[in-house]
Amino acid sequence: MLLPATAMVFVLVTVLTTFTGVRLWARAARSMARLGAPTRYAEALLPSASLVWQELVEWAGAFLPASPRGAPLLRRRLTRAGFRHPSAVRYFRGLEVLAAISLGAAAALAGWDLYLPQERLAMLAAAGGLVGYVAPTRCLLWRIGGRKHAIECGLPNALDLMVVCVESGLGLDQTILQVAHELHAPFPAIADEFTVVNLELRAGKRRADALHDLGERTGVEDLKKLVAVLIQADRFGTGIAQSLRGHADYMRAMARQRAEEKAAKIAVKLVFPIFFCILPSLFLVTVGPVAVKLVRDLLPMIENM
């Protein structure tokens, strides 16, 4: 029967058409906003795709009760991934629900198309739902790892720029703002974090608390060390430029040691590729012709004896 396959094709075409239409709809709304049209009227006629998607995900997330123990951990993960919306936890829960339902339904349709028994069909649908429920968390962890790596890559440049700004006479607050402005294009992740620190300082938050939140929000160890240096320099009244320059030298030494450590581990890591990939090919090239010749010449002699 072609009914399940036809239904899947119909659903796929419908989703793609809807997505394309909403994107075009949102583009028209942004164009109207840039032209200076009445904002309320344009938004009422042309809702953006993000608003439609947020309403759908939030509506789905309302059906899944949030765990009071897991909510702080999830919010911290979302913050480290760059999602700071107040309803980010609800949106993520809704995304888990939608992904579980979608993959579960797709697995059930695939099993129905293959004429599987009801028991296997139910197991396949449950497995698809479980994969759909776990997939957003894995994607979130990957995004956190990528963002941490981006912050680590931009931190040496940010530190050098901070040293230059402080030695040129700028204060720490103006230095943070200048670093966020200069590194916005090449390193947007660390520039975004410095921008948040600047906004917190403008809102009246204590500098030590804002810097401490910077380290906890990102979860990058090198940035936490930089925050500790800045807090100590601000607390004890020592020279910030001298402290930053000393910390920059320390970070260069640590980066050199990490590079040497990775280079020393290469020999151990190459054991398995050499053993499983290179040695079999080498044995096949060197011993293979000899083995073929032995089988071709000795087996007839053995059989004739």
Task: Please name the helix (run of DSSP H) or strand (run of DSSP E) that holds residue 243, with its range, or none.
Answer: helix 240-269
pLDDT at 28: 63
pLDDT at 2: 46
- Rg of the chain (C-alpha set): 29
pLDDT at 26: 64
Query: How much is the average pLDDT of 278-292?
Result: 83
Q: Is the pLDDT of residue 59 over 70?
A: no
Q: Cα separations (Å) of 46 from 26, 124, 216, 283?
A: 7, 40, 39, 68
- Coil/strand/helix, residue 212: helix
Spatial neighbors of 54 by CB under 8 A, at least 6 apart, are: 91
Q: Which amino acid is at 61?
A: G
Quote the CA–CA distance of 102 and 96 in Å, as a whole number. Answer: 10
pLDDT at 143: 92
More confident position, 210 or 112: 210
CATH topology of domain 148-265: Receptor-associated Protein (1.20.81)
Each residue of 130-149: b (16+ CB within 10 Å) or e? eebbeebeeebeebbeebbe
**227's tokens:** 């925050």
Q: What percent of the chain has pLDDT over 90?
A: 9
Half-sphere exposure of 262 (CA within 13 A, CB side): 5
More confident position, 6 or 293: 293
Question: What are the tens digits of pLDDT across the range 218-256?
Answer: 888 888 988 888 888 888 877 888 888 888 888 888 888
Quote the CA–CA distance of 175 and 160 in Å, as a whole number. Answer: 11
Question: How confident is the prediction for the chain on average, in pLDDT?
Answer: 79
Q: How many helices (H) and strands (E) does the chain have?
A: 13, 0
CB 251 within 8 A of CB 222: yes
Domain extents for the chain?
1-47, 148-265
Q: Is the pLDDT of residue 41 over 50?
A: no
Query: Which one-letter DSSP state was computed for residue 127?
Result: H
Task: Please name the helix (run of DSSP H) or strand (run of DSSP E) that holds residue 101, with its range, or none.
Answer: helix 88-113
pLDDT at 45: 38
Query: How much is the average pLDDT of 115-136?
Result: 85
Half-sphere exposure of 6 (CA within 13 A, CB side): 3
Question: What are the tens digits of pLDDT across the range 131-168?
Answer: 888 888 999 999 999 999 999 888 888 888 998 898 88
Each residue of 85-110: b (16+ CB within 10 Å) or e? eeebbbbbbbbbbbbbeebbbbbbbb
Query: How much is the average pLDDT of 96-108?
Result: 84
